[in-house]
Copies of this chain bind each other. A is one copy, B any other.
Amino acid sequence: MTDQPVSNTEGSPQARAREVIFGRQHDRIIERLEALDPTLAAFTREFAYDTVYDLPGLDLKTKELIACALLVSLGSPPELRTHLRGALNAGATEAELRGALLLCVPYLGFPRVVGAFEVLRHHLEDGQQKE
Contacts and interface: CB of A to CB of B under 8 A. Distances in A.
Given A2-B41, A109-B106, A110-B44, A73 B70 contact: yes
Interface residues of A, number: 66
Contact of A42 (B4, B37, B107): B4
Given A2-B38, A41-B2, A74-B73, A106 B96 contact: no
Interface string A87-131: 000000001101111111111111111110110110000000000
A91 B35 CA distance: 24
**Interface of chain A: mostly helix, strand, loop or mixed:** helix
A60 to B, nearest CB: 11
List the 7 shortest-distance A-B pairs measured between CB atoms, nearest first: A57-B99, A2-B38, A7-B7, A73-B73, A48-B106, A36-B117, A70-B107
Contacts of A104: 66, 70, 109
Given A103-B58, A110-B48, A114-B36, A2 B74 contact: no
Interface in A32-61: 33-44, 46-48, 51-53, 55-58
